[in-house]
Structure 1
Amino acid sequence: MADVQETRHQWRVPRGIVALKAAGAVLCAALAITGDGWLLFLAGVAALGFAVLAGRDLVAPVRLAAGEDGLVVSGLGGRERISWNDVDRIRVNTNRRYGLTTELLEIDAGEQIHLFSRFDLGEPVVAVAEALMRLRP
Protein backbone atom coordinates (compact mmCIF):
# COMPACT_ATOMS: atom_id res chain seq x y z
CA MET A 1 0.00 0.00 0.00
CA ALA A 2 2.92 2.35 0.63
CA ASP A 3 3.97 2.07 -3.02
CA VAL A 4 0.56 3.27 -4.23
CA GLN A 5 0.66 6.30 -1.92
CA GLU A 6 4.13 7.23 -3.15
CA THR A 7 2.96 7.32 -6.78
CA ARG A 8 -0.33 9.11 -6.01
CA HIS A 9 -0.49 12.73 -7.13
CA GLN A 10 -3.05 15.25 -5.94
CA TRP A 11 -4.07 18.64 -7.28
CA ARG A 12 -6.10 20.95 -5.06
CA VAL A 13 -7.70 24.37 -5.09
CA PRO A 14 -5.19 26.96 -3.84
CA ARG A 15 -6.04 28.49 -0.46
CA GLY A 16 -5.77 31.98 -1.92
CA ILE A 17 -8.58 31.24 -4.37
CA VAL A 18 -10.78 29.92 -1.53
CA ALA A 19 -10.04 33.08 0.47
CA LEU A 20 -10.97 35.30 -2.52
CA LYS A 21 -14.30 33.50 -2.92
CA ALA A 22 -15.03 33.84 0.80
CA ALA A 23 -14.11 37.53 0.69
CA GLY A 24 -16.42 37.97 -2.31
CA ALA A 25 -19.25 36.36 -0.33
CA VAL A 26 -18.66 38.70 2.62
CA LEU A 27 -18.42 41.79 0.40
CA CYS A 28 -21.59 40.93 -1.51
CA ALA A 29 -23.41 40.14 1.75
CA ALA A 30 -22.39 43.57 3.08
CA LEU A 31 -23.71 45.18 -0.11
CA ALA A 32 -26.96 43.25 0.24
CA ILE A 33 -27.41 44.42 3.82
CA THR A 34 -26.83 48.09 2.95
CA GLY A 35 -28.79 47.99 -0.31
CA ASP A 36 -32.45 48.02 -1.17
CA GLY A 37 -34.55 46.70 -4.03
CA TRP A 38 -32.55 45.23 -6.86
CA LEU A 39 -29.19 45.79 -5.13
CA LEU A 40 -30.39 43.69 -2.22
CA PHE A 41 -31.51 40.92 -4.56
CA LEU A 42 -28.47 40.90 -6.86
CA ALA A 43 -25.90 41.24 -4.09
CA GLY A 44 -27.69 38.51 -2.13
CA VAL A 45 -27.61 36.13 -5.09
CA ALA A 46 -23.92 36.94 -5.69
CA ALA A 47 -23.13 36.39 -1.99
CA LEU A 48 -24.91 33.04 -2.07
CA GLY A 49 -23.02 32.04 -5.24
CA PHE A 50 -19.64 32.96 -3.79
CA ALA A 51 -20.50 31.15 -0.55
CA VAL A 52 -21.46 27.97 -2.43
CA LEU A 53 -18.22 28.07 -4.44
CA ALA A 54 -16.11 28.66 -1.32
CA GLY A 55 -17.99 25.89 0.52
CA ARG A 56 -17.35 23.48 -2.35
CA ASP A 57 -13.66 24.30 -2.18
CA LEU A 58 -13.61 23.67 1.57
CA VAL A 59 -15.56 20.40 1.36
CA ALA A 60 -13.64 18.99 -1.62
CA PRO A 61 -10.30 20.81 -1.88
CA VAL A 62 -8.61 18.02 -3.84
CA ARG A 63 -10.15 18.21 -7.32
CA LEU A 64 -8.05 15.57 -9.03
CA ALA A 65 -5.91 12.70 -7.82
CA ALA A 66 -4.07 10.20 -9.97
CA GLY A 67 -2.14 7.04 -9.40
CA GLU A 68 -1.26 3.80 -11.11
CA ASP A 69 -4.84 2.53 -10.66
CA GLY A 70 -6.52 5.55 -12.28
CA LEU A 71 -8.05 8.92 -11.41
CA VAL A 72 -10.23 10.26 -8.63
CA VAL A 73 -12.31 13.33 -9.50
CA SER A 74 -13.92 15.24 -6.59
CA GLY A 75 -16.57 17.91 -6.35
CA LEU A 76 -19.88 18.75 -4.71
CA GLY A 77 -21.43 15.59 -6.13
CA GLY A 78 -18.88 13.42 -4.36
CA ARG A 79 -15.90 11.45 -5.58
CA GLU A 80 -15.70 9.39 -8.68
CA ARG A 81 -13.04 6.82 -9.44
CA ILE A 82 -12.08 6.46 -13.08
CA SER A 83 -9.93 3.59 -14.26
CA TRP A 84 -7.19 4.38 -16.77
CA ASN A 85 -8.98 1.98 -19.14
CA ASP A 86 -12.00 4.31 -19.10
CA VAL A 87 -9.97 7.42 -19.96
CA ASP A 88 -10.23 8.01 -23.71
CA ARG A 89 -8.28 11.25 -23.94
CA ILE A 90 -6.38 13.81 -21.89
CA ARG A 91 -5.77 17.16 -23.52
CA VAL A 92 -5.37 20.86 -22.87
CA ASN A 93 -8.03 23.03 -24.48
CA THR A 94 -6.77 26.58 -25.15
CA ASN A 95 -9.16 29.43 -25.98
CA ARG A 96 -8.22 32.99 -26.88
CA ARG A 97 -10.89 35.68 -26.62
CA TYR A 98 -10.77 39.39 -26.04
CA GLY A 99 -7.01 39.28 -25.48
CA LEU A 100 -7.24 36.63 -22.75
CA THR A 101 -6.01 33.05 -22.98
CA THR A 102 -7.87 30.36 -21.05
CA GLU A 103 -6.53 26.84 -20.66
CA LEU A 104 -8.63 23.93 -19.44
CA LEU A 105 -7.54 20.37 -18.75
CA GLU A 106 -10.03 18.07 -20.45
CA ILE A 107 -10.32 14.45 -19.36
CA ASP A 108 -12.62 12.47 -21.64
CA ALA A 109 -13.89 9.35 -19.87
CA GLY A 110 -16.48 7.82 -22.17
CA GLU A 111 -19.79 9.60 -21.62
CA GLN A 112 -18.25 12.07 -19.16
CA ILE A 113 -15.92 14.99 -19.74
CA HIS A 114 -14.17 16.53 -16.75
CA LEU A 115 -12.81 20.07 -17.12
CA PHE A 116 -10.29 21.68 -14.77
CA SER A 117 -8.68 25.12 -14.77
CA ARG A 118 -5.49 26.18 -13.05
CA PHE A 119 -7.73 27.61 -10.31
CA ASP A 120 -9.05 24.09 -9.67
CA LEU A 121 -5.67 22.40 -9.74
CA GLY A 122 -3.26 24.93 -8.25
CA GLU A 123 -0.81 24.37 -11.10
CA PRO A 124 -0.69 25.17 -14.81
CA VAL A 125 -2.90 22.70 -16.66
CA VAL A 126 -0.13 21.82 -19.13
CA ALA A 127 2.05 20.56 -16.26
CA VAL A 128 -0.83 18.52 -14.86
CA ALA A 129 -1.60 17.03 -18.29
CA GLU A 130 2.05 16.03 -18.69
CA ALA A 131 2.07 14.42 -15.24
CA LEU A 132 -1.12 12.49 -16.06
CA MET A 133 0.36 11.29 -19.36
CA ARG A 134 3.43 10.00 -17.49
CA LEU A 135 1.23 8.17 -14.97
CA ARG A 136 -1.08 6.67 -17.57
CA PRO A 137 -0.07 3.11 -18.49
Structure 2
Amino acid sequence: MTGSFSFSIYDDSLDFGEISTLLHTPPSSVIKKGEKLKRGSTVAPYDSWHLQEKFQGDGVDEAALVLLLQKLTPFQKEIAYLQQKYQNVILNTYLQSNFGQVGFNLSAETIRQLSLTGLEMGIHILSYGGVEE
Protein backbone atom coordinates (compact mmCIF):
# COMPACT_ATOMS: atom_id res chain seq x y z
CA MET A 1 0.00 0.00 0.00
CA THR A 2 1.16 3.51 -0.73
CA GLY A 3 -0.40 6.74 0.34
CA SER A 4 -0.10 10.11 1.93
CA PHE A 5 -1.61 12.46 4.44
CA SER A 6 -2.00 15.94 3.01
CA PHE A 7 -2.95 19.21 4.69
CA SER A 8 -4.59 21.01 1.79
CA ILE A 9 -6.09 24.44 1.15
CA TYR A 10 -8.31 25.09 -1.90
CA ASP A 11 -9.91 28.29 -3.24
CA ASP A 12 -10.25 30.33 -6.42
CA SER A 13 -7.32 32.51 -5.40
CA LEU A 14 -4.82 31.65 -2.66
CA ASP A 15 -2.08 33.83 -1.26
CA PHE A 16 0.61 31.12 -1.32
CA GLY A 17 3.20 33.31 0.40
CA GLU A 18 0.87 34.23 3.26
CA ILE A 19 -0.01 30.56 3.89
CA SER A 20 3.65 29.52 3.99
CA THR A 21 4.48 32.44 6.29
CA LEU A 22 1.60 31.73 8.68
CA LEU A 23 2.51 28.04 8.95
CA HIS A 24 6.29 28.63 8.98
CA THR A 25 6.83 26.02 6.26
CA PRO A 26 7.07 25.77 2.50
CA PRO A 27 4.42 23.65 0.77
CA SER A 28 5.11 20.19 -0.60
CA SER A 29 3.33 21.40 -3.72
CA VAL A 30 1.11 24.16 -5.08
CA ILE A 31 -1.22 24.14 -8.04
CA LYS A 32 -2.51 27.31 -9.65
CA LYS A 33 -6.00 27.65 -11.06
CA GLY A 34 -5.94 26.92 -14.81
CA GLU A 35 -2.65 25.01 -14.61
CA LYS A 36 -2.54 21.76 -16.56
CA LEU A 37 -2.65 18.78 -14.21
CA LYS A 38 -0.44 15.71 -14.56
CA ARG A 39 -3.38 13.50 -15.44
CA GLY A 40 -4.38 14.07 -19.08
CA SER A 41 -5.56 17.42 -20.34
CA THR A 42 -7.46 18.42 -17.20
CA VAL A 43 -6.80 21.88 -15.78
CA ALA A 44 -6.96 22.84 -12.13
CA PRO A 45 -10.34 24.40 -11.28
CA TYR A 46 -8.84 26.35 -8.33
CA ASP A 47 -5.60 27.15 -6.53
CA SER A 48 -4.32 24.64 -3.99
CA TRP A 49 -1.55 24.53 -1.38
CA HIS A 50 -0.42 21.17 0.08
CA LEU A 51 1.79 19.98 2.94
CA GLN A 52 2.21 16.23 2.57
CA GLU A 53 3.67 13.22 4.37
CA LYS A 54 3.94 10.06 2.22
CA PHE A 55 4.13 6.42 3.31
CA GLN A 56 4.59 2.98 1.78
CA GLY A 57 4.35 -0.49 3.25
CA ASP A 58 1.99 -3.21 4.39
CA GLY A 59 -0.59 -0.79 5.78
CA VAL A 60 -1.34 2.80 6.67
CA ASP A 61 1.61 4.36 8.50
CA GLU A 62 0.04 6.27 11.37
CA ALA A 63 3.48 7.74 12.14
CA ALA A 64 3.25 9.78 8.91
CA LEU A 65 -0.03 11.31 10.12
CA VAL A 66 1.45 11.97 13.56
CA LEU A 67 4.41 13.74 11.95
CA LEU A 68 2.10 15.97 9.91
CA LEU A 69 -0.08 16.72 12.95
CA GLN A 70 3.03 17.65 14.96
CA LYS A 71 3.83 20.21 12.27
CA LEU A 72 0.28 21.61 12.28
CA THR A 73 -0.78 21.56 15.95
CA PRO A 74 1.31 24.61 16.99
CA PHE A 75 -0.59 26.64 14.37
CA GLN A 76 -4.18 26.10 15.54
CA LYS A 77 -5.00 29.84 15.45
CA GLU A 78 -3.47 30.23 12.00
CA ILE A 79 -5.42 27.22 10.70
CA ALA A 80 -8.65 28.70 12.11
CA TYR A 81 -7.85 31.97 10.28
CA LEU A 82 -7.21 30.07 7.03
CA GLN A 83 -10.50 28.19 7.47
CA GLN A 84 -12.33 31.53 7.70
CA LYS A 85 -10.49 33.00 4.72
CA TYR A 86 -10.53 30.10 2.26
CA GLN A 87 -13.20 27.81 0.83
CA ASN A 88 -11.72 24.43 1.82
CA VAL A 89 -9.05 23.69 4.42
CA ILE A 90 -8.79 19.96 5.09
CA LEU A 91 -6.53 17.07 6.00
CA ASN A 92 -6.83 14.45 3.26
CA THR A 93 -5.82 10.81 3.41
CA TYR A 94 -4.93 9.14 0.10
CA LEU A 95 -4.56 5.35 -0.03
CA GLN A 96 -3.64 3.21 -3.02
CA SER A 97 -3.76 -0.57 -2.75
CA ASN A 98 -3.92 -3.74 -4.80
CA PHE A 99 -6.30 -5.25 -2.27
CA GLY A 100 -10.09 -5.26 -2.52
CA GLN A 101 -10.55 -4.45 1.16
CA VAL A 102 -8.69 -1.58 2.77
CA GLY A 103 -8.96 -0.44 6.36
CA PHE A 104 -6.90 1.22 9.03
CA ASN A 105 -7.02 2.20 12.68
CA LEU A 106 -6.00 5.43 14.35
CA SER A 107 -5.05 5.60 18.01
CA ALA A 108 -7.10 7.71 20.41
CA GLU A 109 -4.08 10.02 20.82
CA THR A 110 -3.82 10.63 17.06
CA ILE A 111 -7.56 11.36 16.90
CA ARG A 112 -7.13 13.79 19.82
CA GLN A 113 -4.27 15.53 18.00
CA LEU A 114 -6.38 15.78 14.84
CA SER A 115 -9.25 17.33 16.81
CA LEU A 116 -6.88 19.99 18.20
CA THR A 117 -6.25 21.23 14.66
CA GLY A 118 -9.98 21.71 14.02
CA LEU A 119 -9.60 20.06 10.61
CA GLU A 120 -11.93 17.70 8.79
CA MET A 121 -10.35 14.50 7.51
CA GLY A 122 -11.13 13.30 4.00
CA ILE A 123 -10.32 9.69 3.08
CA HIS A 124 -9.73 8.76 -0.57
CA ILE A 125 -9.10 5.11 -1.50
CA LEU A 126 -7.98 3.74 -4.85
CA SER A 127 -8.19 -0.05 -4.82
CA TYR A 128 -7.39 -2.33 -7.72
CA GLY A 129 -9.25 -5.23 -6.09
CA GLY A 130 -6.59 -7.86 -6.75
CA VAL A 131 -7.61 -10.20 -3.94
CA GLU A 132 -6.37 -13.79 -4.10
CA GLU A 133 -8.48 -16.50 -2.48
TM-score, normalised by the number of residues in structure 2: 0.29
Which is higher, the Rg of structure 1 or of structure 2?
1
Higher relative contact order (CA 8 A, sep 6+): 2
User: Scaled by the length of structure 1, what TM-score is found?
Assistant: 0.29
